[in-house]
Chains A and B, each alone.
Chain A
């Protein structure tokens, strides 16, 4: 009987390191959307920044995003100007080493971890559980600030868990085909193509929501062709422990990833 050793997005770096495998995760993002903070001003943003500044000192401001909907892509049809008439920017608080990022706008907080180095350089991925703890910590800072400012308790509405996996299409100097990476992609004729992108949506089992999966060819920062598999789970957070819902979404993402890639990518050992 074969023993499956997943090239996993779930475990910590120590486990994969023991197996000589490095997870292909290049970014993980957690988002909690809540009832908007009414009357938020740029002065409030400055005060909030001071709380994150010791760990996340680099500030950036980017355009705000429309309200997240549970139906994938739905918010694209509702222009942001109709939803947020006078919008403050979305604030980015970035760590000195660029690995960690907290995003904040009036109706949500996100925590992002980004791999900074090439996959083969170091198994730096800390694992889902460690990142979830970081989300809890960063959201705790925000919640405490909201309470001190006298805003009412926010109702969490929508959560999102995002995993981006980058799998180089070049291993030890040898090119790898898309069909070497995606388990279900089996072209009859293995010809060269010019563009590749697929997207599909998988429903969640236990709560309203879905996982949107995309697979597309891109380049690593140093120019190597790579297949990028992105999975974004959106789910309802009404009246539940939002962190438990993240766990459910994570398990679903793990299942989808395992089904999507080939044994050679998962690192199956006979």
Chain B
């Protein structure tokens, strides 16, 4: 359900205040099985729709981030580090800014790294885009054209430029293939009034 009142010149799209995420992400269950980060696997109830609205996209991505946040130090071996909320905030901001201008790509894969970073990935049979957000704020991006066998690698500001220009292109591919994406319905929400 969308009841958004479109106001303001905010960069925080008012659509993001719509509810579309799972209630369970507010307080992950203790002892829950390891979250599934790979693939377009559903976190809660699957919804077969390759093209998400901006609010749904944002909520579904934040649901994935909530799962990443449940990882404690040592989650992938004794030296592995937890992902800080600060880094998740930064990734959320960079992605929403980068994708504000064009078509919304399918929900990316969210892959935590043992170093405390997070890699965001879009995959298509002929094209892959990986953007790595390091634990100390560094950003790098790798674009691979699998057909041509070429790749472009960028860091920092240039990596964001690559993200801005290429991530929206995955949306047309997603429409073609109708890949199921992880999202929840409003009936999954429980808010204490």
Contact B191 A89 (CB under 8 A): no
Known contacts: A73-B7, A164-B10. The answer to whether A222 contacts B193 by CB under 8 A is no
Contact A72 B90 (CB under 8 A): no
Interface residues on B, range: 35 or more
Tell me if B14 counts as interface (CB < 8 A to partner A). yes
Residues of A within 8 A of B (CB): 26-27, 29, 31, 57-58, 60-63, 65, 72-73, 76, 89, 92, 94, 96, 98, 101, 103, 108, 110, 112, 114, 116-118, 121, 160, 162, 164, 169-170, 173, 175-179, 185, 187, 190-197, 199, 212, 214, 216-225, 228, 230, 232
List residues of chain A with CB within 8 A of the CB of B36: none
List residues of chain A with CB within 8 A of the CB of B1: 195
Known contacts: A217-B17, A221-B62, A222-B89. The answer to whether A60 contacts B193 by CB under 8 A is no
Supply 11 A–B pairs (Cβ within 8 Å), ascending by A.
A29-B8, A29-B9, A60-B101, A162-B9, A195-B3, A196-B193, A197-B3, A212-B5, A214-B17, A221-B89, A228-B17
List residues of chain B with CB within 8 A of the CB of A179: 193
- In angstroms, Cα B26 to Cα A60, docked, is 32
- In angstroms, Cα B9 to Cα A186, docked, is 31
Choose the segment among B63-71, B72-80, B145-153 that binds chain A (4+ C-beta atoms closer than 8 Å).
Answer: B63-71
CB distance from A27 to the nearest CB of B (A): 5
CB distance from B27 to the nearest CB of A (A): 7
Contact A178 B192 (CB under 8 A): yes
Contact A223 B164 (CB under 8 A): no
Tell me if B85 counts as interface (CB < 8 A to partner A). yes
List residues of chain A with CB within 8 A of the CB of B6: 73, 76
CB distance from A62 to the nearest CB of B (A): 4
Chain B 1-34 against A: per-residue CB contact (8 Å), 1 yes, 0 no?
Answer: 1011111111110101111010101110000000
Interface centre among A92, A103, A195 (most CB of B within 10 A): A195
Contact B26 A96 (CB under 8 A): no
List residues of chain B with CB within 8 A of the CB of A224: 25-26, 66
Residue of A nearest to B23 (CB): A225
CB distance from B26 to the nearest CB of A (A): 4
CB distance from B121 to the nearest CB of A (A): 18
Tell me if B100 counts as interface (CB < 8 A to partner A). yes
Contact B69 A222 (CB under 8 A): yes
Other A-B contacts than A195-B189, A225-B26, 9 sampled, CB-CB below 8 A, are A29-B8, A108-B9, A116-B89, A162-B8, A164-B10, A192-B190, A195-B1, A221-B91, A222-B92
Contact B93 A103 (CB under 8 A): no
Tell me if B161 counts as interface (CB < 8 A to partner A). yes
Chain B 87-117 against A: per-residue CB contact (8 Å), 1 yes, 0 no?
Answer: 0111111100110110000000000000000
Question: Of A31, A162, A192, which contacts B191 at CB under 8 A?
Answer: A192
Residues of B within 8 A of A (CB): 1, 3-12, 14, 16-19, 21, 23, 25-27, 59, 62-63, 65-67, 69, 85-86, 88-94, 97-98, 100-101, 157, 160-161, 164, 186-187, 189-193
Known contacts: A170-B26, A222-B66, A223-B69. The answer to whether A230 contacts B100 by CB under 8 A is no
CB distance from A183 to the nearest CB of B (A): 14
- In angstroms, Cα B85 to Cα A100, docked, is 20
- In angstroms, Cα B28 to Cα A252, docked, is 39
List residues of chain B with CB within 8 A of the CB of A101: 11, 97
Contact B157 A98 (CB under 8 A): no
Question: Of B18, B89, B92, which contacts A216 at CB under 8 A?
Answer: B18
Contact B192 A192 (CB under 8 A): yes
CB distance from A200 to the nearest CB of B (A): 10
List residues of chain B with CB within 8 A of the CB of A216: 17-19
- In angstroms, Cα B193 to Cα A46, docked, is 50
Contact A223 B65 (CB under 8 A): yes
CB distance from B135 to the nearest CB of A (A): 14
Contact B161 A178 (CB under 8 A): no
List residues of chain B with CB within 8 A of the CB of A114: 11-12, 93
CB distance from A143 to the nearest CB of B (A): 18
Contact B157 A218 (CB under 8 A): no
List residues of chain A with CB within 8 A of the CB of B26: 169-170, 175, 219, 223-225
Known contacts: A62-B101, A92-B97, A221-B62. The answer to whether A169 contacts B192 by CB under 8 A is yes
